[in-house]
Amino acid sequence: MLRVEYAYWLIAAFLLYAGLRHLRERQGWRAAFWLLLGLLFASGDEVLAQQAAGNELPSQLAGGGVILLALLAPRLRRVPHAQDVGSKTRRQSALRLGHRLFVPALLIPLVTLLIALLGPHLSIMGYAVFAKPQLTLTGLALACVVALFAASRVTRAPMQDGFFEGRRLLDAIGWATVLPLLLAALGQVFTESGVGNAISGLTSAWLPTGSALACLLGFALGMVIFTVIMGNAFAAFPVMMAGIGLPLLIQQHHANPAILGSMGMLCGYCGTLMTPMAADFNLVPAALLELRSPYGVIRAQLGSALAILAANVMLMYLLVFR
């Protein structure tokens, strides 16, 4: 049975490969960063098992590893890799392959979707092929493996080129690779620590809670601010919904929950466009495109984000209280 743990082991294997390659090239800080991250991915199941058994030491060691990653991250300076072929050769190869280059990329969402839809019904001799928990993530990992084989077939390049290019991409992104994981954990920490209740108390103290418009503005701007802080609207949503959305807008002012939730998320997405904390949207493209400024993407979309936010808040006021 294919389980989501196998996906984490694949990621760990690739990170360890990248770290060992850097170690051979005597790039100590990079090697330490990727090796440590690979060990954290590989040992995740054991850490959870030990924690469930009452042994907190592995969890504490994992937390110390995360802190060490943060200390190592500033030392990850971008180092261009030697290209195995020149840019002219790459361009000629791209022209020769044409639209076939898109086949591996398109296979990733296609295979993931097929596994998510058909995976629960697949079995061999009465045994399920896929474990149902986190089936989509398992399908995504398998889809990436399929895409790697497809890319090797389409380009007629050896499989090891895929690992080389993957490591090059990993180094181009750098420490921002792990930022979405850390921010997702931060959102869970905020939710569990009762930040939503604290926001509710501050709102009641500083905002005229009898005004539906004031509460709506507080909710919308709060979604933007917390998304800017955490880089993830999904992490900001439960905090703001628990603090303002549910007690004030829905229960007190009878706002439509479906409209409030969907349009509130769009407010958060506007914050995503304005923050470097949303590394996968804003810092990674700047690194891959080799822009002069790492914040070039944010500057380009800041005006659009503010305009969309203003229009969305006005529509929320017109629609959410109907």
The verdict on 136 and 68 lying in the same domain is: no
Helix or strand holding residue 4 (H, E):
helix 4-24
pLDDT, averaged across the chain:
85
Q: Given 11, 46, 77, which residue is the final one in a domain?
A: 77
The verdict on 129 and 73 lying in the same domain is: no
Q: Quick one: tokens of 37?
A: 């991250």
User: Is 200 a residue whose pLDDT tops 90?
Assistant: no
Q: Among the listed ranges 120-129, 180-189, 230-239, which one has the minimum average pLDDT value? A: 180-189
pLDDT tens, position by position, 284-320? 788 777 778 888 899 999 999 999 999 999 999 999 9
Residues 37-53 as b or e (16 or more Cβ within 10 Å = b): bbbbbbbbeebeebeee
Q: Given 125, 157, 189, which residue is the final one in a domain?
A: 157
pLDDT tens, position by position, 237-289? 888 888 899 888 999 999 999 999 999 999 999 999 999 888 778 877 887 77
pLDDT of residue 268: 93
In a domain? residue 163: no
The residue segments making up the domain with residue 98 are: 84-157
In a domain? residue 162: no
The verdict on 72 and 131 lying in the same domain is: no
Q: Among the listed ranges 13-22, 81-90, 125-134, 302-311, which one has the minimum average pLDDT value? A: 81-90
Residue scoring higher pLDDT (191 or 22) = 22
pLDDT tens, position by position, 118-157? 888 888 877 788 887 888 888 888 999 999 999 888 888 8
Phi, psi of 217 (to 5 degrees): -65, -40
The verdict on 71 and 92 lying in the same domain is: no
In a domain? residue 197: yes
The verdict on 114 and 56 lying in the same domain is: no
In a domain? residue 105: yes
The verdict on 8 and 111 lying in the same domain is: no
